[in-house]
Amino acid sequence: MIVVVTGAAGSGKTTIGRALSDTLGWRFIDGDDYHPPASIAKMRSGIPLTEADRAPWLASLRREMAAAIGRRAPLVVACSALRESYRRTLRGDLPTVRFVLLDADDGTLRRRLETRTGHFAGPSLVPTQLATLEPPAGWDVLIVDATRAPAQIVERIRYEFGV
pLDDT tens, per residue, the chain with 163 residues: 999 999 988 899 999 999 999 999 999 999 989 988 888 888 777 777 788 998 999 999 999 999 999 999 999 999 989 999 999 999 999 989 999 999 998 888 888 777 766 555 556 677 778 888 898 888 889 999 999 999 999 999 999 999 9
Return the bridge partners of 100, or none: 5, 142
pLDDT at 116: 62
pLDDT at 88: 94
| pTM greater than 0.75 (yes/no) | yes
Contact between residue 26 and residue 76 where contact means Cβ atoms under 8 Å apart: yes
**Of 112, 123, 101, residue with least CA distance to 43:** 123
C-alpha dist (Å) from residue 21 to 1, 11, 106, 129, 149: 12, 17, 27, 25, 16
Domain architecture of the chain: domains with CATH: 2-161 (3.40.50.300)
**Of 22, 120, 17, 27, residue with least CA distance to 78:** 17
pLDDT at 124: 63
